Each structure stands twice: as C-alpha cells, then as structure tokens.
Structure 1
Amino acid sequence: IMVLTKAFIVLALLSVAMSMQISNIDVPTEEDLHSQMVAFNASINLMFPSHIGKPAMKDPNDMTQRFFVIGDFGAFFNYRELSKATDAMNDLAAKYDYDHIVTVGDNFYWDGIDNINNRWKTWLCLSVFKKSALRNILIYPTLGNHDCHNDINNEILLSKYDYQWRFEQEYYVKVTPLKDDSKKFYVNFMLNSCKTICPPGNIYQYDNDECARFGFPPGGEEVRKHYAWIEEQFARYSNDPDTAWMSISLHHQPYVHPGEKLALLPLMKKYGIELIITGHEHWNEYSN
C-alpha cells in the first residue's frame, strides 16, 4: 500500500509539473520554472531516496585525476537502467574525488530536444545525476547523431535550466588543472561528431545520409569551420608547455567512420592526441 501511495503521489506531482509547463509553454516565467523544478525534485526524492544525503569524507591527499564518462544514455524508457548506472557512479563519487562528468553524445533519445519549453524528458533523464554524491559534479556534454536530429541549440539552452549541464557551445575545450601542484593541465577537446564525420572525400553512403539529415553537407562551410577550429586548438595546446596531456571526446569512433579516418585521424597523429573517448556503438568499457 505504501508503495502504491508513493507511486500515486509521484505521478500526481509529475502531472502538476507537466501541466504547469504546458500551460506556460510560450513564455514560462522564472517563478514557473522554479515551481516546476521543486515539484519534479519532490517526486524524484520520494521515489528514489538515495538522492538524499551527504557524500562520505574523501582523502584530501588523493592527487588522482578522475572523471566519469557516459554516453548514449538519455532515454526516459530506459530510466531504470540509467538510474542503476548512476547509482554505481554515485557510490564511486562518495569515495573518491571526481572532477566532472563527460558525455559522449546521444544525450537525449530519439531525436535530441525538439522544444526547449518542453523539458520533462530532459529533467527525467538528468534527475539521476542529482544523487547525493553526484549532484555537485558538473556535466560537460558533446553531441551525438541523435542529438543532431533536432536543433542542437536546445541542448545548449538547457544549460540555463539545469545547473549541472555545462554546454555553452557545440564544440569547445575543457581544461582541467592537475591536482599535483605542477600548474599543468589536462586538455579535452569536446568535438561535434555530427560535423567530424562529414568532411569532403570518399565516405560511406550511411555517413552521407546522416550528414544530409544533420544539415551539414560533406565538406560544407560548417564542417570546414569545425575542422579549422580543431587544428587551431590542437596546435595551440600541443605547443603549450603547461599541457600535461590531451584527449578528444566525441560520439563516433575515428578509427571506424571513414570521414573521420580521412580528416580527423591525421590531425590527431600530427598533434599527439593521447586518448580518444567515444560512444555510439553501445559497448561498455571499464577502466580503473
């Protein structure tokens, strides 16, 4: 009976949050947004009490650089599995100091965010990162093919409504200072894979079709601008004596997609990229 009562209250609160949102879908006020978030968080805390509490004390002498990587995750129909994954992340974050969370695209299935004023799906998917030890760890996203099926600016605008979601540009550089007092930093180039798979040249028909759907024709101006930016940033940080090591984060694998093999891999080799972080294939990789 208690479980059924909780479920009923949760559904009621979610209905309130969603109805408030729909009634103000054109011009939601800050007060409306705050009320929606309060109602939504109340429902989440009722159903998942593990969201509440304080993280354990961590070793202040731990100099290890740690960050989480998650990709292909934002599906409300997959909420239970996503919550289990973030339970494991929450357990680790309670024991060790994690700098941030990186996403490698396909943040919201099936077609990204179609309307920034209709955020119930994004709130549901991001609520799992509000658990006790995760809630203060910032999320730095990249885009995947599903995200690019709608206006990618909606995922950028989401940064205004979720304090963890730090996505100010469609591609950017994430610089993280090392913890060892060396004053050096780790550089992660956060790329837009919807453009990196679309350079000019001999690419598979599948990629051609995807590029057309994204609105980025192979070798088009937007693609050329992104690749020019990539080389500029690679050159800048590879020549910086304070750069300890460099990685790229993106959705598609450069060793698999022919467009990236053609245009991105040579740049990575030229400038000494040491780590590639990707998603798309829905495999699991565990590292310690």
Structure 2
Amino acid sequence: MACFDYKTRAMYIGFVVLVSMLVCSFAHLQRFEHPAKADGTLSFLVVGDWGRNGNFNQSEVALQMGRIGEKLDIDFVVSTGDNFYDDGLKGVNDPAFEESFTKVYTAKSLQKQWYSVLGNHDYRGDVEAQLSPVLRKIDSRWLCLRSFIVNAEIVEIFFVDTTPLVDKYMTDKEHSYDWRGLSSRKNYISNTLKDLEMALSESTAKWKFVVGHHAIRSAGYHGDTPELIRHLLPILKANNVDFYTNGHDHCLGHIASHDSPIQFLTSGAGSKAWRGYVNPNYGNALKFFHDGQGFMSVELSPTNAQIVLYDVFGKILHKLSMSKELLHSAI
C-alpha cells in the first residue's frame, strides 16, 4: 500500500468497501426495527392462509382480529403465508391485493405494519409482485419479503421462506411455480439456513420467534414437513428458539417439543378451513387443535409470554402462558 499513489489507494479502498458491502448483503438477513411499547411490552396478531376476497369467513375472522387488536393495542400483524388464493397475485396491479387485503382488514387496530412471508400458493403466482415496493405504495401496511428479521426490542422474529425447501413443489406437475430469484435452489437453501443460523446465534433478544409458512410439527392435514425437521429444526434447537409459528394447515394448533423448549404453533385459519382431520399420534405433545377458522395473539414482556388462540367468533379456545425461565429450565 505504501507504494500506491493517492488516487490508486482511494480506488483500492473503495473497491474493498464495495466488496465488503456485497458480502454483508448476502451474509445477513434484512432487518427491520419495530419499537416495543413504552413499558417494554409488545403485542401482535398472527394469521395465515387468508386471501380469499373476504369469502370463507375471511371477513368474519378479520372482524374479530380488529376487536382483539384494539383490546390488546397491538403493535403489528404477522402473516404466515398463502396470502392470496388460489394462485398468488397476477401482478402489482392485480385487484386481488385490495379485495383480499386492504378492503378486508379495515379495523382501526389493524392499520399497523403487516409482516408477511410467502406460502406455496403465493409461489404459484407472480412472486415478484408480492415482494414489490409498489404494493407498499398502494397500502403502506404491506411488507412481504422472502426471509428477514423484525427486531422489536424484547423479541426478534425471524421470517423464513420455507417453500423452496420442500421437495414436492419441484416435481409438482399440476401447478407452475415462480422460482425467479432462485437461480440455484441448492445455494438458495444453503444461504438461507446459514443466514438464519448466524442471525439466531448473534441475537441477544429476550424472546426468539421463527415464522415460516410450512409446519415443523402439526397435527393438521398437511402435518409435519420432513425437510424442515431435517434442515431447520436443528438450527432452532441449537439457538434456543422459543416459538416456531406457521400456517399451511388451515387450523389452529399447539404442540410442545419433547426434547427442547420450542413450542410449535399453527395459525393458518384465516379463511377456508374445516378439513375434518386431526393426527391422533401426537399423544400428550398435542396441547391443542382446532379444525376451523381463527387467529392467534401474542403478548410479551421481558419475562413472560401469553399466546391465545381464537375462533371465528373471537372466542378464546386455548391459552399458553410461559415464563422465560421456566420455559428453558423445563427441558
């Protein structure tokens, strides 16, 4: 470096900075900051598998979400994917965006940021449209990315794009999927898991939530996802994740892990449900199951978490109250 003239040195430093920025952009998930309340607490709703133009009781679920959202003074809403049925959006100007989102979730309490992941039905449409900032101009609440982090002070929520991890979508002859942005599935999966593992290991948040569309553990029709059990679950266990939340199964559910503190929560009942199926093989690990529409609320303090599952009428079906210390000392 000593023999470089000033101009050459400046160019060299600029190049190093550029390379470093590029490396960091691939090595880390995009992060969004969302402040907790002044008293250090946080509350939010979780809903999935909802986008049906208000039909199949979507509007009724939305009504109750608005009521509970006001009662809890929620900070934001989490969507677990399959945001638009049956085949995602056709483009950024698809009227389904407003018909299934803007005109359905109209309650004052729901005019907060929505953080959303993609589901397999979203991949059947124009994925780039759902990820586009153009939709945020139509409705500023909307934020959907492949994988990202929301840092809300006492909790970090890690959103994971699970559809590319599932093998069956690669050989599905009945539907087409929009794999743009995934030039190499193998590299995409590897990078997603590495980024998640790095982010989880570096997290100092009191609580760790991971959100994906597909279930790791579910007693519903689709059930467990072998690829997530194989690739994702070990990372969650190794990094003291508290909750994994998913949609995909059109039901509400709670399964306790037998060998880790992780609580598996299904909230995929935002519209069409009632499949008439429950997996009876979970035994005592299955804490709750509801084959019908509804949603979930989450209330957090630095030491305690309360999860509540509601049906389509806003009736409380199941409560999970956890102490941070007890949750991790029980295993």
Aligned partner (choices 223, 227, 231) of residue 259 of structure 1: 227
- AA of the residue aligned to 2:75: D
Tell me the number of residue pairs that the alignment of Structure 1 and Structure 2 aligns: 209
Q: How does 1:226-245 map to 2 (within 5 A)?
A: 226-240=189-203, 242-245=204-207
Normalized per residue, which structure has more strand? 2
Long gaps (5+) in structure 1: 1-59, 179-185, 199-205
- AA of the residue aligned to 1:281: D
Distance in 2 (alpha carbons) for counterparts of 1:155 and 1:215: 12
Long gaps (5+) in structure 2: 1-36, 218-223, 254-308, 310-317, 320-331
The alpha-carbon distance between structure 1 residues 63 and 254, as it changes in their structure 2 partners (threshold 3 A), is: same
- 2:249 is paired with a residue whose SS is coil
Match of 1:43? none
Match of 2:209? 247
Distance in 2 (alpha carbons) for counterparts of 1:275 and 1:82: 25
TM-score (norm 2): 0.57
The alpha-carbon distance between structure 1 residues 223 and 162, as it changes in their structure 2 partners (threshold 3 A), is: farther
- Does structure 1 conserve the Cα–Cα contact (< 8 Å) formed by 2:48 and 2:82? yes
Aligned partner (choices 108, 128, 131) of residue 107 of structure 2: 131
- AA of the residue aligned to 1:88: Q
The alpha-carbon distance between structure 1 residues 273 and 224, as it changes in their structure 2 partners (threshold 3 A), is: farther
Q: How does 1:101-250 map to 2 (within 5 A)?
A: 101-118=77-94, 120-126=95-101, 127-135=103-111, 137-157=112-132, 158-167=135-144, 169-178=145-154, 186-198=155-167, 206-210=168-172, 213-214=176-177, 221-240=184-203, 242-250=204-212
Deviation of 1:111 (Å):
0.4
Normalized per residue, which structure has more helix? 1
Match of 1:92? 68
Match of 1:22? none
- AA of the residue aligned to 1:149: R
Percent identity between matched residues is: 23
TM-score (norm 1): 0.65
- 2:141 is paired with a residue whose SS is coil
Match of 1:52? none
Match of 1:183? none
The alpha-carbon distance between structure 1 residues 116 and 143, as it changes in their structure 2 partners (threshold 3 A), is: same
- 1:67 is paired with a residue whose SS is strand
State whether structure 2 residue 248 is matched by structure 1 residue 280.
yes
Distance in 2 (alpha carbons) for counterparts of 1:104 and 1:210: 22
- Does structure 1 conserve the Cα–Cα contact (< 8 Å) formed by 2:66 and 2:110? yes
Deviation of 1:213 (Å):
4.0
